[in-house]
Amino acid sequence: MVQVTFNSAKATKSEDVLKTTFTYENAIVEKGEAGALNVTPTKTDYEFKTELKVPKLGLMLVGLGGNNGTTLVGAVLANKHNISFETKERVVKPNYYGSVTQSSTVKLGVDAEGNDIYAPFNSILPMVNPNDFVVGGWDISKLKLDKAMKRAQVLDIDLQKQLYSYIDDIEPLPSVYYPDFIALNQKERADNVSNIDAKGEVDLKNKWKDVEKIRKDINDFKAKNKLDKVIVLWTANTERYSEIIEGVNDTAENFIKAIKENHEEVSPSSVFAVASILEGVPYINGSPQNTFVPGVIELAAQYKSFIGGDDFKSGQTKVKSVLAQFLVDAGIRPVSIASYNHLGNNDGYNLSAPKQFRSKEISKSSVVDDIIESNEILYNDETGRKVDHCIVIKYVPAVKDSKVAMDEYYSELMLGGHNKISIHNVCEDSLLATPLIIDLVVMTEFFSRVTYKKVGASDDSYDNFYAVLTLLSYWLKAPLSKPGFKPINGLNKQRLAVENLLRLLVGLPVNNELRFEERLL
């Protein structure tokens, strides 16, 4: 680990606490007549407090025995025990490539000659090392992890064989299963279900009991492993969307009531979310369904318990959030984006059902919304305010975990000209998603150690960030936003927010590219 020392008058360290002052500057814009804009700079002084002691962290995955779950366990153990393995090409040493927190760098500043100097992302402030994760969780399939890993067909055989002795006794906890929410083709897999009645049938009449069972599982896991903190993350099958119904899931009170009355629109993922919130445990949704119905968001705010979602942003959508931003920022007008995918893992199998595909379609299609809204020259009442966005996903068993994505961006140029960009991307799905899980967990835990207060406020106590942890948006396809605010989808904006937070917490100025060392005499 690179040792970095920060010399800033804005930061003071005492024992395991770092306190930092920061002036947040922005601009408030008022719209006047005939499109006139009145801009007023603003600034607010804050004091941040960062707890520097790293806790012993437990990670409970919903979908522990799936592709992502077994790949994450394999990655953690391979890195922890320094397990190298042989492929047909070479010997591979364990690494965390694809993880921002473990394999990327942050610009610190410049040297005496004006050259940029970078340091590892996780060297700026103390963060949990994924090698130290204590991993457990639930799955509707009872396969032990060695057999589940073999079923997933993600990791090389030589690596799997070396991992078996570490995982052959790990068996997922029984999970909640409501058949209406996932594809019928998953029924055969569901042999490890907690909500079973005396006749051996799936019980849909005790959903509050399911909440209490999950809460007990979390507490038992924490006590058994002597953990300081636990994070729960959903990486199980995509569910269908829950219908938003007034009086059912629109408020926290109504949703708790709906669970206790076993309403049909209460999903398993929302049950896991409520259980986590009531335990004060952060909950992250890595699938595209609307787990966080308004009542769940309100409950999280009431309990000041972190939630983050939705859907891992790994391949095609990550590229889309960069390329669409590039085109619009360049003054080029995308008029259509056509995206095609085919994949052969169990996620693809589940998504072959129409209702589950619809959840994925929604999360993929929203990724360019804020980018389009940012430019009224290109998108207005005359030209149209939307992009034709077509998304197709097909299940092709032969390609297994290698997802094939093809995109066509069709754009309008000056004076009726057109531009077409076509991309063909083949990626190993779980090996892209697993580093995102690592980052989401590492950063969620880190953010839980950061508090703030407004300088000069009547209440001098420190607060946590708002319950909807929008700083996680970089890693999520359809980022959840605070009620009343629109989500930010542009990848560069999302990354800059996280990087600048780290900088201000150690007393550095937020990043800019003015480069006066070079540009001024």
φ and ψ at residue 77, rounded to 5 degrees: -70, -40
Return all residues near 259 (Cβ < 8 A) that are at least 6 apart.
207, 208, 211, 266, 271, 274
Alpha-carbon torsion (232, 237, 243, 247), positive or negative: negative
**Got the DSSP string for 373-421?**
HT-TTTSSTTT-S--EEEEEEEE-GGGTTEEEEEEEEEEE-GGG-EEEE
**Got the DSSP string for 43-79?**
EEEEEEEEE-PPPPEEEEEETTTSHHHHHHHHHHHHH
What is the DSSP secondary structure assignment for residue 449, as one 8-state letter?
T
Active-site residue, 463 included: no
List 210, 360, 370, 429, catalytic entry: 360
List 310, 403, 429, 439, catalytic entry: 403
List 210, 217, 311, 347, catalytic entry: 311
The answer to whether 260 touches 249, Cβ cutoff 8 Å, is no
Active-site residue, 49 included: no
Active-site residue, 403 included: yes
3-state SS assignment for residue 13: strand
Q: Print the SS3 string covering 226-293.
A: CCCEEEEEECCCCCCCCCCCCCCCCCHHHHHHHHHCCCCCCCHHHHHHHHHHHCCCCEEECCCCCCCC
Helices 252-260 and 207-224: angle between axes, nearest 10 degrees: 100
Q: Cα(205)–Cα(195) distance, rounded to whole angstroms?
A: 9
List 10, 207, 364, 477, catalytic entry: 477
Active site (catalytic) residues: 311, 360, 403, 477
